[in-house]
Amino acid sequence: MLLVSLSISATAQQISLAGTVSDEQGVPVPLANVLIKQRKNEKLLYFKATDNNGAFVLNLPSETILTYFYLEVTHVSYRTIKIELEKGKNFYEIRLSRQRVHLDEVSVGIKPRINASGDTIRYDVNSFATQLDRSVGDALKRMPGFEVEQNGRILYQGQAISHLYIDGDDLLEGKYGIGTRAIPHAIVQGVEVYKNHQDIKVLQDRVVSRDITINLVIADKAKMRLNGEAKLGGGWPEQYVSELNAIVFNDKIKMLDALKGNNAGIDIREDLQDLTGQAATNLERHSQPLLSSGTAGAPNLPKARHYLNNSVGLFAHHLVTLDADWQVRANIDLFADRNKLIYDNQNMIFGEMDSISFTEQLYRVNKPFLTEGSLRVHKNTKKTYLNNLLKFNYSRDYSAAELSGDEQLIDQRLKQQQWFFDNHFQYFPMLKGKDVLKFSGRVATNKAPEQLVLASPQKPIVDVPSMSLSWLRQRVTTRTTHAELNIEYLLKPTWFSHRYNLQAFSEWQSLHSSLNPIEGEQVLDEITTGNALQWRRSYALLGSTYEIKRSNFTLSATLPLRLQQISYDDAQFALNRGQVDWLFDPSLEISKKIGQQHEVAGHYGYSNTFGNMQNIYQGAIMTNYRTLLANDTVLQRNRGHHAGFAVKLANAPDMLFVNLGYDYAHVASNVMMSYQVTEQLTSVVALPLTNRQTQHNAVAGISKFLFFLGVKSGITAKWSLTNDNQLVNDALLPYRNRMFSLSPDLNAKLLGRINVAYIGNWSWLHNEPRQRGLPFSQRLVTFSQSVQLYYSPSAMLDIGLKGQQLYTKQREQANYNYFFMDANARYKIPTWRIVLEFDLFNIANIKTFEYIALTTNSRHNNRYQIRGRMALVKAAFTF
């Protein structure tokens, strides 16, 4: 005690925590680990081992708020104990109880390093990254088990991650792509993978989760300063790139701000993309535009090669920890762009015994603008979860397009806008008996007006008796509001747990449309009856969930019973209908752990889904220059069976990860889309006909780090089989679609100076009629591969070449084979913290790209104008 007193007096500017650790008989326990961790995210901050007398002293900064932390004491021979720190208390007497020794932690003693413990796997970032890597996303690509897709989405053992945390905090929600691209790997100490992660603490050990979450552990030295990068570049022909980002990651404040602009094909909008699918609400996912200015999409080519843009984006992500329990997060995004799309294509749609073809040549200029934001107030403790998330966005898109084809020239003007608002409140308190009550409510609303104006002075767009319809205006406005309330009661968890929930949901929708001819400045009467549709859907749900949890086995069964009412009316069509349904959608999940890292899981579910107002409107809508879309009066209902299994094998010491999976789906619908196709127009009507579809999907992947070569290698195989039906020009066409793909990848660090990266994809597609005697069987083979080679003659200079091949082959069609080559050189000036970079893009100066796209009963030969040769010089300053 005298030594403790001397220590406190000698460090007046610190807080000293001291104590003793002993066993149940009072015998001192030496070499026990005494840890101080944050309450909010269980992050380790301080560590000390007890001496031979079982004593310890921990010196903390004077500004430390003790109630934000807790004390954890561990020893291999004793049970772990956790103690909440108390204000004003500086000495703790701790008693440990013995346990059977069970070591479940493995680690790799050579670089690169992985450490595994239970459901958590930790990667040492520095041991995988090379001097070529700038961001943490670059380093992730070198880690076995990880896949990073082109848009930034991260998969682990074939499963998309649910969250990306930064030191335990969810700063970016589902839009984590900006983080993996902007956060330097140098400030990230480790990457932690949490399998079967339940992020709501009060639900841990109560609600089974299959989610995979990643946590970036920030290095202590990076928490003490502002980190960021300023980049500016220019080049030929008239290219520019600019970026400024600022990063603060400490225990109180987390901030990631970025300002970006370029016309060099870099897609800034990727930073707005929800990569988990959890950030978007059902209303956002269903609020898709109805109108478009063409029939072809983007080419099957990396976007940087065809994106003719001039973009700017501003992104602000801020999170503040108010105390040990409360957080406030604000996210604001702005995006504006002017981009061009130039293509021509030949389209062929197959009927029963013949085919219909038409051509398009399109020059389109788009001017999208988007602003969105969210404000979140959040509390997540073991006794209470409270969350309120407010979201809003506004978007508009103006496009002007000139389209020609089949002796017709059409001028198009498309204007689309959307307003969206959503507020989601959740409150989950733990009750006195350790039961949990879940209460949540949500209100959301959306408005989306659209207008498409078509002008064709040479030839009528639509043939109507006694009228020459060379000028048309299509207007559509949709509105949606929904509200939901959910109450769930979770009983105290044991090996067998159960919970019960009651949910009420209401949705109101309206759709108004008109299709009018135009003469000069005058808008004439509608040529077809427009829509004035009102829709309402509401349901009450009573459900129960039962779960069995053993040490290595879980089983979960959900039994929801739903009473649903749908009504819709449109006076213009004397339409006034409604229906009431009792619905039962059970599901079952089962999983079994084998050892510490292997897992086998299976699932089954039965679902009832219904269409919405976009599947029931009666008045024809001209969705683009050649498509008229309408519906019959029958409400679409889909009944589906879904089943599958997944096997995940992980051997952390050998850095070997294997995943296998299979999914089956059978969906029966009471509606079938009927296509009436001519060379001038396609009319689509939803008819009350039974339609059945089956789908099989299988995937197998392996990822391995080869120590003797210093190589991360992997290969993924995918197979799918789909049976469906098409109704084209009154003929029922049953089709079978088969696909197989093989995707190898390799990332090697050789001789300390050479880096090689290879990504390949071989794909085989076969569409054929299931009915004998029908023609038009289609086979398509595509092959793409890219090789990137970097040589680093010194720590300051990197020189690289990248080659990319894309090959397409279809019988009775011309083969397409392209080879792109790029070059890059980087020179670092460490004393100035500057990196100079030179890029030479598309050295062969390929300016057009052709490929074949297949759907079930159609073929599209597309040719796009893409970016030619470019040269860029960039300077980046890091701070």
pLDDT tens-place string over residues 335-358: 999 999 999 988 888 877 778 888
Share of the chain above pLDDT 70, in %: 93
- For residue 360, the cross-strand partners are 345
SS3 of 186, please? helix
What pLDDT sits at residue 284?
A: 54
Average pLDDT, the chain: 88
- Considering only residues 676 and 388, tell me which one the structure prediction assigns the higher pLDDT: 388
Lowest mean pLDDT segment, chosen from 91-100, 559-568, 728-737: 91-100
Buried residues in 113-139 as b, exposed as e (16+ CB within 10 A): bbbbeeeebbbbbbbbbbbbbbbbbbb
pTM for the full predicted model = 0.84
Higher pLDDT, 5 or 162: 162
Alpha helices in 264-380 (DSSP H): 282-286, 303-306
Contacts of 729 (CB under 8 A, 6+ apart): 351, 352, 675, 676, 677
Q: Mean of the pLDDT values across residues 837-855?
A: 93
Q: Is the pLDDT of residue 103 over 50?
A: no
Single out the residue of 87, 85, 186 nearest to residue 130, CA to CA: 186
CB 720 within 8 A of CB 738: yes
Encode pLDDT of 796-844 as tens digits: 999 999 999 999 998 777 899 999 999 999 999 999 999 999 999 999 9
Distance CA 628, CA 622 (A): 4
Range with the largest mean pLDDT of 6-15, 21-30, 412-421 = 412-421
How far apart CA 5 and CA 89 sit, in angstroms, is: 14
Q: What pLDDT does 12 receive? A: 40
pLDDT tens-digit series, residues 132-160: 899 999 999 999 999 988 888 999 999 99
Q: What band does 679 get if pLDDT is binned at 50, 70 and 90?
A: confident
Q: Nearest 5 degrees, angle CA 37-CA 43-CA 47?
A: 50
Residues 847-856 have a mean pLDDT of 88
Tens-place pLDDT, residues 727-781 = 888 888 888 999 999 999 999 988 878 999 999 999 999 988 887 777 778 899 9
Q: What span, in angstroms and rounded, lies between the C-alpha atoms of 66 and 70?
A: 8
Helix (H) or strand (E) holding 577: strand 575-584
| Strand partners for 665 | 642, 695
Predicted confidence (pLDDT) per residue in 248-286, tens digit: 999 899 999 999 999 999 999 999 999 987 655 555 555
Residue 205's CB is within 10 A of a number of other CB atoms, namely 12
Confidence at 853, pLDDT banded by 50, 70, 90: confident
Of the ranges 50-64, 287-301, 701-715, which is most confident? 701-715
- Read off the pLDDT of each residue in 703-720 and give the average, rounded to a whole number: 91
Over 80: is that where the pLDDT of 465 sits? no
Q: Cα-flanking dihedrals φ and ψ of residue 388, to 5°? A: -130, 120
Which among 177, 254, 175 has a CA at the least distance from the CA of 222?
254
CB 552 within 8 A of CB 636: no
- Average pLDDT, integer, range 383-398: 96
Question: Can you give the pLDDT at residue 115?
Answer: 82
Q: Tell me, what's the pLDDT at 495?
A: 86
Run of H or E residues at 179: helix 177-182
pLDDT in the model for residue 11? 37
Residue 304: φ, ψ to 5°:
-60, -20
Q: Is the distance from CB of 324 to CB of 36 less than 8 angstroms?
A: no
What region does 470 belong to: left with phi over 0, alpha with psi -120 to 50, or beta?
A: alpha
pLDDT exceeds 50 at position 191: yes
What confidence tier does 110 reach under pLDDT thresholds 50, 70, 90? Answer: very low
CA 682/CA 244 separation, integer angstroms: 48
Residue pair 21/34 in contact by the 8 Å Cβ criterion:
yes
Spatial distance between the Cα atoms of 58 and 93, rounded to a whole number of angstroms: 14
